Structure 1
Amino acid sequence: MSNYTLAIDTGGTFTDFALLDNKKGIIENYKINSTPKDPSIGIINGIELIAQTKSLDSGTFLSRVQMIVHGTTVTTNAVLTAQGAKTALVTTKGFRDILEMRRGIRPTFFNNKYQAFKPLVPRNLRFGVEERITASGAELIPLNKNELELIGRQLQAKGIEAIAVCFMHSYLNPSHEEEAKDILQELLPRAYITISSEILPQPRLYERVSTTVINSYVGPLLKNYLESLLGKLRQLHFTGNFFVVTSNGGAAIPELVSKMPAATLLSGPAAGPIAALNLSQKAGYPNCITMDMGGTSFEASLIKDGIPMTSRQAEVNSNALALPMLDIRTIGAGGGSIAWLDSGDFLHTGPQSAGAFPGPASYNLGGTEPTITDAALVLGLLDPDRFLNGRFPLAVDKAYQAIEKHIANPLNISVGDAAWGIYQVAITNMANSLKELTVQRGFDPREFLLVVGGGAGPLHCAYLARQLEIPTMLIPNESSIMCAYGMLLTDL
């Protein structure tokens, strides 16, 4: 009897599965539509599909799965769409606006129409409390417990779901934060509370505040999601080990990521460089660029001398995150990215995506706006009868009508020219992303192997390589589920 390891990568449009037969060493690939409202439904649907191919029921199949490794976009999407938990910030008195002031540097100096980003916690939910720890770690002003209790009662009245606590210099002396957590947890026993000294005990106040806020903002969502998913898996007789991929390319048990959910913001994409490293080394290339183009986004990363590039400074939707992670560049350029015209009739693609539902117009699920997938279909680059291995035929007429209505007619050009324009804009956006990753950092992309991943990657990589003059590409058998494949290689 076979026993399996199952890797699951939940994306915005598709959910990918890589199934390893531990006895035979054979890896099988599966792909199914995601269910964004409840990603666990798409996962269960995929498990049912795999079980059917093996003539088993879901329970019998899962009883043979020894380990599941999961990459999730729950936390990523919460920050990108600003739809996380209702969160409050409690910090040192006089510093409640640090989340909005950031480092006081405008990202652009010459844009007189620039609008400051909206922080995850609005000003009316940010509170300062009397306390102070000095730069040497000594207590200068004791924590005002009466004032903190008053703040706690206000948070009760406001229906707060999560609280971020970040005091000055708490990385040297966390006693005030620990006291504050105990007091607030007693007043709000159901609230998800993060203190900065537990997740990021290091200098730089803004980065520490922002990271702590993100952790609390996404905490309840990830906790509830994992509890729901694990509950469904247990009902189907899964008794094996379950791990969640983290942003640094490793994996952790649900109990750990539930305490530090901010470490999962690049959960899915982080496995891509792990897969690319394995594949490029097998091919004899120590340097490679990995690209992964799925249904919603395009991710790229760099591997130099057999080592993936890493970072401790990142921004997710303009929110600073200072946890160790693989250096992955993401733009809204997936197969479902919507093509649109601005007020000057300039053509753009993304970052808005049609997602899994209603999806591109060619999905025939009610979507009416043209996407990159629709353009590829009109150009004859996609076989409408073989999409998702023939399980999901595409409607060429719907793609044609969407491009004609929204792009071709307003520009007074043919549908074919409009589709080619959409395609070229998407390629240019991806090429610019790769230039930021290489040329702007002193690397010549012509000296790197391009490792291609994602369901839409092989369809676009030749045009992309031509634009960057990259001479060699590697399109592995696992390209359509490359991140899921990388999860099987994660160091557990």
Structure 2
Amino acid sequence: MKFKIGIDVGGTFTDFLLTGEDGSTEIYKVLSTPDDPSIATMRGINEMAGSRNISIKDFLRDVTTIVHGTTVTTNAVLTYTGVKTGLLTTEGTRDALEMRRGIREEQYNNRYPNARPVVERYLRLPVRERLDYQGAVLTSLDQDDLKEKIEQLKKEQVEALAICFMNSFANDCHEQAAAVMARELLPDCYITVSAELLPSIRFYDRISTTALNAYVGPILKRYLEALIAKLKKEDFQGILLIMASNGGVVSPPQAMEKAALTLLSGPAGGPVAGVFYAGVQGYDDCITVDMGGTSFDAAVIKNKKPSTTTVGEINRLRTALPMLNVVTIGAGGGSIGWIDEGGL
């Protein structure tokens, strides 16, 4: 009998749904292994094989498809455990990640803290260049200045680099030139170019999404490469698909290149499943709630459809790639509460 496997890698548990071609279903759960999530993934698959008294190789020969949702990137942002990331941006705009849209969520609360950027200010370096809104060059890219800034980031041993220049959606020549030099000087660095990831207007949306992609990219890339290698070692010949934030799926290479597509990969499974289960009970509208060990996710279903957005946020940080409208906060079942000196 042929099988399909659904996998959800969470911060605390990794869950599996095994479905047979006869409609049968089985659920498995193992503890997650945050240092290398592929260990828990393979452990769960091994349990499936063990329950049938066959080797994992024999079992995987009968698996046609693995659909994989993950909160690896989600939790990296919620807990600020992404990689050391640098940013090259147009001179005069290095603080856009902190300025955001100039809007404070609680405008009358003078003590309300600003959202913490995923790139520290000393790693956000301005480069002399400028394009106008139509893509015409106002200030040519200063190659010497660019090289100096990349060398500075090299000394800081950044693991990822985000490149985002003003108006590059209209003309990406400066970003591409910067990327070429960066790849030469930082050959082992994970590089995200905003015009390749999100070639659209609205500078803050683009720079925030680009920074997030670079921040979590190496983590997801390492995980998927390890998982693919282990599956290949066990002779898996089926299809591996990664769930995206919009409720669809992408290939592993696309997920590794555009890791920000998976920022709500795991949470997106809640609304998709909610549509089905609410429909079984005869409801067209519902609210889905998904509490994991690390995050708490909620979404609204209207007329059997989860809403989508390109102005989403995760941990108060903007991501402008298409995603289901899921609200995520870092307060899961494993979160630790405390009482401060004021009794709150």
Q: Place the TM-score, normalised by the shorter chain, in its bin.
A: over 0.9
Q: Report % sequence identity.
A: 50
Quote the residue 2:131 is aligned against. 133
DSSP-derived class of the 1:285 partner = coil
**1:261 maps onto 2:262 in alignment:** no
Quote the residue 1:192 is aligned against. 190
Deviation at 1:20, TM superposition (A): 1.1
Quote the residue 2:20 is aligned against. 21
DSSP-derived class of the 2:94 partner = coil
Structure with greater helix percent: 1
Contact 2:11 2:72 (8 Å CA) reproduced:
no
Instruction: Name the aligned partner's letter for residue 281 of structure 1.
Output: G
Q: Distance in 1 between matches of 2:219 and 2:259?
A: 9
Quote the residue 1:230 is aligned against. 228
Deviation at 1:307, TM superposition (A): 1.5
Quote the residue 1:219 is aligned against. 217
DSSP-derived class of the 2:336 partner = strand
DSSP-derived class of the 1:341 partner = coil
Q: How does 1:257-406 map to 2 (within 5 A)?
A: 257-346=255-344
Quote the residue 1:104 is aligned against. 102
Q: How does 1:444-463 map to 2 (within 5 A)?
A: none
- Provide closer, same or farther for how the CA distance between residues 116 and 25 of structure 1 changes in structure 2, counting only shifts above 3 A: same
What do you get for the CA RMSD once the two structures are aligned?
Answer: 1.7
Deviation at 1:61, TM superposition (A): 1.1
Deviation at 1:345, TM superposition (A): 4.2
DSSP-derived class of the 2:117 partner = coil
Q: Distance in 2 between matches of 1:193 and 1:104?
A: 28
- Provide closer, same or farther for how the CA distance between residues 338 and 148 of structure 1 changes in structure 2, counting only shifts above 3 A: closer
- Provide closer, same or farther for how the CA distance between residues 93 and 279 of structure 1 changes in structure 2, counting only shifts above 3 A: same
The structure 1 residue matched to 2:77, chosen from 76, 79, 83, is 79
Q: Distance in 2 between matches of 1:32 and 1:284?
A: 33
Q: Distance in 2 between matches of 1:55 and 1:131?
A: 64
Q: How does 1:51-62 map to 2 (within 5 A)?
A: 51-62=49-60
DSSP-derived class of the 1:152 partner = helix
Quote the residue 1:455 is aligned against. none
DSSP-derived class of the 2:289 partner = strand
Q: Distance in 2 between matches of 1:236 and 1:179?
A: 42
Q: Distance in 1 between matches of 2:288 and 2:216?
A: 28
Instruction: Name the aligned partner's letter for residue 92 of structure 1.
Output: T
Quote the residue 1:383 is aligned against. none
CA offsets per residue over residues 381-434 of structure 1, 9 Å max, x none? xxxxxxxxxxxxxxxxxxxxxxxxxxxxxxxxxxxxxxxxxxxxxxxxxxxxxx
Question: Which residues of structure 1 form unaligned runs of 5+?
Answer: 347-492
Q: Which has the higher contact order (CA 8 A, sep 6+)?
A: 2
Quote the residue 2:28 is aligned against. 30
Question: Which residues of structure 2 form unaligned runs of 5+?
Answer: none
Deviation at 1:207, TM superposition (A): 1.3
Q: Distance in 2 between matches of 1:342 and 1:97?
A: 31
Instruction: Name the aligned partner's letter for residue 236 of structure 1.
Output: E
Deviation at 1:296, TM superposition (A): 3.4
Q: How does 1:163-178 map to 2 (within 5 A)?
A: 163-178=161-176
Q: Distance in 2 between matches of 1:76 and 1:299?
A: 11
Tell me which moved more, 40-49 or 333-342.
333-342
Q: Distance in 2 between matches of 1:126 and 1:101?
A: 13
Quote the residue 1:121 is aligned against. 119
Deviation at 1:273, TM superposition (A): 1.2
Aligned length in residues: 344
CA offsets per residue over residues 177-227 of structure 1, 9 Å max, x none? 111111111111111111111111111111111110111111111111100
The structure 2 residue matched to 1:243, chosen from 238, 241, 244, is 241
Deviation at 1:150, TM superposition (A): 1.7
DSSP-derived class of the 1:91 partner = strand
Q: Distance in 2 between matches of 1:277 and 1:50?
A: 28
Deviation at 1:289, TM superposition (A): 1.8
Structure with greater strand percent: 2
Deviation at 1:170, TM superposition (A): 0.7
Deviation at 1:265, TM superposition (A): 0.6
CA offsets per residue over residues 257-288 of structure 1, 9 Å max, x none? 11110110111110121112122223332222
- Provide closer, same or farther for how the CA distance between residues 98 and 332 of structure 1 changes in structure 2, counting only shifts above 3 A: closer
Tell me which moved more, 35-44 or 287-296.
287-296
Instruction: Name the aligned partner's letter for residue 15 of structure 2.
Output: D
Contact 2:16 2:27 (8 Å CA) reproduced:
yes
Structure with max Cα Rg: 1
